[in-house]
Amino acid sequence: MSGSNQVAQSASPVDVVQSGRSGRIHSIETCGTVDGPGIRFVIFTQGCLLRCQYCHNPDTRDPDGGVQVTVDELMREIEKYRTYMASSGGGVTISGGEPLLQPEFVREIFRRCQAVGIHTALDTSGFPDFERSKPVLDHTDLVLLDIKSFDFETYHRVTHVAIEPTLHFAKHLSEIHKPMWIRFVLVPGLTDAPDNVAGVAKFASGLSSVERVDVLPFHQMAAYKWEMMGYDYALKETPTPTDKQVQRAIDIFAQYGLNAR
């Protein structure tokens, strides 16, 4: 995930933050095309508990970083792009970082969007506090769920957290029939083992509401961020998967009856 158009607004009072009417974001992308259907207004929130080896936005880790904005400010910006969103079947996507670290803030943005007929999509790892996160789904049209691996040891090596919360979140989405797209990053030598891909595919095929699976090829586009921030980038020698490797993963998902691309 990557963003553009840095936002710089003044801070709001603490009580506004606690009410969900304000939150911390990293950036916005006004005409995104890869984070849900159609043209999307993408909000990248600040803060993440995962430490993914291939993170595209390591600068979103710190929950106190970024800038503080109100929902009203964001809605005024969103309104400027409604024509593009409506004509393309798009909407608003909240990504990160991890949006569910600020569930009240995200829920309020989505509630306001749905009230005026704007499609909402949540891009999440499904890892944060489950009970606090559930109300966000009341105003979410689509969940983009990142499943980094199915092998538990590989998942922990990739993210430095446990996989169980993500699987629990996915099963809940299935139980409430919430539409979801599964996103799987294919990293040569890390997540691309056929058994690992098949594990994700088998799990996803047992969920009731998976509309598609996006196999996302690993790339080095964020390496410069890691270097600038002084982080150790373990994947600096890892190549982008070939078209053949990507197709092999897509074929595995297809064998389980999933719409993969």
Domain of residue 63, CATH code: 3.20.20.70
Name residue 15's amino acid: D
Question: What mean pLDDT is reported for the chain?
Answer: 93
Contact yes or no for 231/58 (Cβ under 8 A): yes
- Residue 24 within any structural domain of the chain: yes
Residue 52, token pair as written in the block: 């993914």
Q: Which domain holds residue 163?
A: 14-255
Tell me 24's DSSP state: E
d(CA 159, CA 125): 10
Could you read off the pLDDT of 99-158 as tens digits, one per residue?
999 999 999 999 999 999 999 999 999 998 999 999 999 999 999 999 999 999 999 999
Q: Is residue 164 part of a domain?
A: yes
First vs last C-alpha separation in the chain: 17
The total domain count for the chain is: 1
- Which helix (H) or strand (E) segment holds residue 28: the answer is strand 22-32
CA dist., res. 231 & res. 251, Å (int): 35
How many helices and strands, by DSSP H and E, does the chain display? 10, 8
Q: Do residues 218 and 241 lie in contact, with contact meaning Cβ atoms separated by under 8 Å?
A: yes
Average pLDDT over residues 55-65: 94
- Residue 46 CB-half CA count within 13 A: 17
Cα angle 12, 17, 70 (rounded to 5 degrees) comes to: 55
The pLDDT score that the predictor gives to residue 19 is 55
Q: Are 110 and 136 spatial neighbours (Cβ–Cβ below 8 Å)?
A: yes
The answer to whether residue 98 sits within a structural domain is: yes
User: How much of the chain, in percent, has pLDDT values that exceed 70?
Assistant: 93
The answer to whether residue 6 sits within a structural domain is no
Q: Return the closest-CA partner of residue 58 out of 100, 4, 97.
A: 97
pLDDT at 2: 39
Would residue 9 count as lying in a domain?
Answer: no
Q: Is residue 31 part of a domain?
A: yes
> Pick from 111, 103, 121: which is nearest to 29 by CA?
121
Which distant-in-sequence residues (6+ apart) come within 8 Å of 243 by Cβ? Answer: none
**Would you give the DSSP letter of residue 260?**
B
pTM to 2 decimal places: 0.92
pLDDT tens column, 232-247? 999 999 999 999 999 9
**In a domain? residue 58:** yes
- Inside any domain, residue 7: no
Asked if pLDDT for residue 12 goes beyond 90, the answer is no
pLDDT, tens digit, for every residue of 192-250? 999 999 999 999 999 999 999 999 999 998 899 999 999 999 999 999 999 999 999 99
For residue 216, what are the contacts with CB-CB under 8 A and spacing of at least 6? 183, 184, 185, 186
